[in-house]
Amino acid sequence: MIIVIMGPPGVGKGTYAKGLEERLGIPHISTGDLLRAAVDEGTELGLEVRKILEKGKLVPDDDMMILVSKRIQKEDAQKGFILDGFPRTVPQAEMLDRLFDKLNKKIDYIMDFFLDEAGLIQRLSNRRQCPQCGRIYNLINIKPKNDLLCDDCGIELMQRDDDHSEVIQKRLLVYKDKTQPLIHYYENRKGYLKIEAINVDDVLDEIMELIKQ
Ligand code: AMP
């Protein structure tokens, strides 16, 4: 099973992808997480992309393609995977199609999540993440049990550097300009689903029902 998760920043792609990872037993591959890990580890790619991430811009398509191509060919992704945050541009989608042709793979579902802009901004500015396990919370609707500590690790939650208001605005503009055109690229494909990103558990239950059918 190969699933592509699409949608604007703040729609909750990571949360839905994690939920599907648990339910389907296939890895959640977030390109944002891969890039942030590269920055933290100070790899060659990390040094190159740090400033791009801070500004809310996009990493070049060729770098992204190398990163994704390596990741999806690892052992744990052989039964399937959930791509979160990739593709993000039409050229990336075209490169992914070419890679899948070569690897004899196909996308089963393209899940395109949407929410109004006020909702996105509210979610982004209230998002917090555990620096240890990566679990995502929201101070409005997915609150941690104990103050601002991770429910699982007890560690203080962090706000992502790019979840501050100026960068949020930039990321939303970049989404409209570069990523929204992808909707036309995919919308007539078998497996394309447009999903309103409301209550996480209800939405995940509905998706699982649909997949089982
Ligand atoms: P995300 O965690 O998906 O919100 O991604 C965080 C940041 O990583 C984005 O704002 C981009 O700077 C970068 N990024 C993630 N995925 C991609 C991609 N497919 N293409 C280019 N840049 C990306």
List for the chain the helix, strand, coil content (%; round to 5).
Answer: 50, 15, 35
Side chain identity, residue 42:
G
pLDDT at residue 53, rounded to an integer? 94
- Per-residue pLDDT of 159-172, as tens digits, reads 998 998 889 999 99
Mutation probe of ligand 1 site: the residue of 88, 89, 124 with most atoms within 8 A of C-beta:
88
| Mean pLDDT, range 162-190, rounded to an integer | 95
Ligand 1 atom closest to 49 (CA):
12
The rounded Å distance from CA 57 to ligand 1 centre is 8
Confidence of residue 146 (pLDDT cuts 50, 70, 90): confident
Phi and psi, residue 94, nearest 5° = -65, -40
- Per-residue pLDDT of 68-112, as tens digits, reads 999 999 999 999 999 999 999 999 999 999 999 999 999 999 999
- Residue with the smallest CA separation from ligand 1 atom 10 is 56
Residue 77 beta carbon below 6 angstroms from any ligand 1 atom: no
Q: Over 90: is that where the pLDDT of 147 sits?
A: no
pLDDT at residue 134, rounded to an integer? 86
SS3 sequence of 85-141 = CCCCCHHHHHHHHHHHHHHCCCCCEEEEEECCHHHHHHHHHCEEECCCCCCEEECCC
Phi and psi, residue 50, nearest 5° = -50, -50
Residue 38 beta carbon below 6 angstroms from any ligand 1 atom: no
**CA geometry: angle 76, 162, 36, nearest 5 deg:** 30
- Residue with the smallest CA separation from ligand 1 atom 8 is 32
- Residue with the smallest CA separation from ligand 1 atom 2 is 32
pTM for this predicted structure: 0.92
